[in-house]
Amino acid sequence: MKHQRGLTVIVTTLLVLTGLIGWWNSRWSALATTRVPQTRTATLFLPGNSGAWLSVRSMVVSLNRPELATFSLTARVSYAGHVSWQQHAPVAANNPLVPVIFKDNTHPQKQARQLRTVLQQLHQRYGVTHVNFVGHSSGGTIAYDYLNHQSQAPVTVNRWICIGADFPERTGLRTAEPQLHILNLAGNIGRTDNDSEVPDNTVTPLARLVQGHVGSYRYEPLHGPIWQMQHSLLHENPALDRKMITFLYPPS
C-alpha cells in the first residue's frame, strides 16, 4: 500500500511538471518570432480586485525578453498612497514594463488617485512621458477612473488593454483622448457569454463610455475552455501574450 501511495505521488508530480513545462513552452513559442519597435513608452500592469504580484507576474515575465520588452520597475503603493520603487533594469528605449502593486487593492477609485502619484513619480524620477495600461478585472476600472479624473499626471496614455474588466456605474469619459487606442478583451468559457465572474454585457459598456473621445476602440471576445478563459486565469493565457505586445507596441 505504501509503495502504491508513493507511486501515485510520483506519477502525479510528473504529470504536474509535464503540464507546467508544456504551459511555459506554449507561452514561449507564442512569442518566439515576434518583434516590436523599442520605445521609452512604459506599460503599467494593474491587477484586479484583491490582486497582487501573482496576478500580473506571468504576463510581465512572458513579455520580458529581447526585442519585446524589459521588466524595468515595480511600483508598490502603501495604504496611504506612498510609492516605493524597485528597479530591475534600466528605463530606456526598451519598452519598460512596470507592475503596480496596491496594498489597498479593493477600492478602484482610491487606487486611481494613487495611480496618479505613481505616474507623477514615474515622470519625475525616470523621465517617462508616455505610458500604456494593461488592466485585469478592476485594474481596467482603475485605469478608466484615472482617465476620467479632473487632474492627471504629466504623461500621455497611448494604449490601454482591458482584460475581463467591467464598468459599473461609470459615466462617460469627460475629456477627449484622441491619442488613446483601446483593446477591450472579454473571456468566454465555451459557448457562454461569461468568464465565470464577469459577463460580456458588463464589459461592452466601455464602448459607450469612450465613444467619440478616443482615437480607436476595439472589443474582442475570446472563446475557449475553462482553463484558458476563467476570469482569474485570463492573465495566464499564452494566446493573449502576442495579442498584447503587438497592440501595445505596433510597427511604426
Mean pLDDT of 55-63: 94
Residue 231 is predicted with a pLDDT of: 87
Residue 63 is predicted with a pLDDT of: 96
* Dist CA 78 CA 84 (whole Å): 8
**Is 85 a residue whose pLDDT tops 80?**
yes
DSSP H or E segment with residue 240: helix 238-248
Residue 125 is predicted with a pLDDT of: 98
What are the φ and ψ backbone dihedral angles of 182, each rounded to 5 degrees? -120, 135
* Dist CA 71 CA 87 (whole Å): 9
Q: Give the chain's radius of gyration (CA, Å).
A: 19
**Is 117 a residue whose pLDDT tops 60?**
yes
Which pTM was predicted? 0.88
**Is 19 a residue whose pLDDT tops 70?**
no
- Domains defined for the chain, CATH in brackets: 34-248 (3.40.50.1820)
Q: What is the pLDDT of residues 138-181, one digit of tens each?
A: 999 999 999 999 889 999 999 999 999 999 889 999 999 999 99
- Cell numbers for 134, please give them: 494593461
Average pLDDT of every residue of the chain: 89
Highest-scoring range by mean pLDDT, 8-22, 36-50, 192-206: 36-50
Residue 177 is predicted with a pLDDT of: 97
* Dist CA 142 CA 88 (whole Å): 25
Of residues 3, 100, 90, 2, the one with CA closest to residue 43: 100
